[in-house]
Amino acid sequence: MKIYVYGLRRTGTNYLYQLLNNYNVSTNGTTWKTKGGWKHGYFCGDKGQIPDRILITIRHPLSWLPSLWRFIRGHSYRGPHEFKDFIKINKDHPLFSEGENFFIYRWSFVYGYWLWKKESNDIEIVRLEDLFYNPKPTLDSILGSHLLRNEEFIVPQNYCGPLKKEGGRKELEKEWENKEWMKYWTDDLIEFVKQRTDPEIMNRFRYRWDGSYK
């Protein structure tokens, strides 16, 4: 089975690639040069490149935006040094190259696009939260357990991307259980993001504005 992975930065695409090593499947690459298009973009390929399945990673916007901010700050960052200012920079700022008004518009636009494509294609949008807490049941329900390579399902401990953290999985579980990303948010910032987020997508993936997702 051929599987292509897509998703915004900091939504767990690399983590999903690692989990897929448990299955007898092939995947697209992780760079912008790969067949099928860049994993953080959209599917781009001819008929000979059409995969059997497309998996899209999604993440709660209230945990995604702080993670994105920390990531960008470590890569020749030219933006505000306060999170509250970061989420409000608009398309006139040098950080933007694709014309979005705010980062949160990008979240709604991308997953609105994939939900639209899902109507006529074999596409599955997978929550990062499910991949973290229940990786095997989540992927078995999509791919089928018959594709497993071995009886032992290996959950990677050395994470990359948004799941990389010193101290291993236990420290990360503590961070997620306590919803530590909520320390970045005030009521007015949540309201700012809420007004610019598609409520249908939030409801579709059971994301709530208190930071919960179950």
Q: What is the CATH number of the domain that holds 30?
A: 3.40.50
Among 35-44, 47-56, 139-148, the range with the most confident prediction by mean pLDDT is 139-148
pLDDT band at 27 (very low <50, low <70, confident <90, very high): confident
> Does residue 214 lie within any of the structural domains?
no
Residues 16 and 7: their CA atoms lie apart, in Å, by 10
More confident residue, 46 or 156: 156
Ordered alpha helix ranges (H), the chain: 13-20, 61-73, 83-86, 103-118, 128-133, 135-143, 168-177, 187-194, 199-204
Number of H helices, E strands in the chain: 9, 4
> Does residue 11 lie within any of the structural domains?
yes
Look at residue 159 in the predicted model and tell me its pLDDT. 63
Query: What's this model's pTM, rounded to 2 decimal places?
Result: 0.88
> Does residue 210 lie within any of the structural domains?
no
Residues 23 and 17: their CA atoms lie apart, in Å, by 10
Spatial strand order of the sheet with 123-127 comes to: 26-27, 2-7, 53-58, 123-127
Is residue 146's pLDDT more than 90? Answer: yes
> Does residue 58 lie within any of the structural domains?
yes
Domain hosting residue 193, numbered range: 2-204
- Interhelix angle for 61-73 vs 103-118, to 10°? 120
For the chain, give the mean pLDDT.
84
Query: Count of domains in the chain?
Result: 1
Look at residue 92 in the predicted model and tell me its pLDDT. 57
> Does residue 209 lie within any of the structural domains?
no
> Does residue 143 lie within any of the structural domains?
yes
Is residue 20's pLDDT more than 80? Answer: yes
Residues 161 and 163: their CA atoms lie apart, in Å, by 6
Mapped onto helix, strand or coil, the DSSP state of residue 211 is coil
> Does residue 177 lie within any of the structural domains?
yes
> Does residue 13 lie within any of the structural domains?
yes
DSSP state of 154: P
Residues 76-116: pLDDT tens digits? 666 778 899 888 876 555 555 544 456 888 899 999 999 99
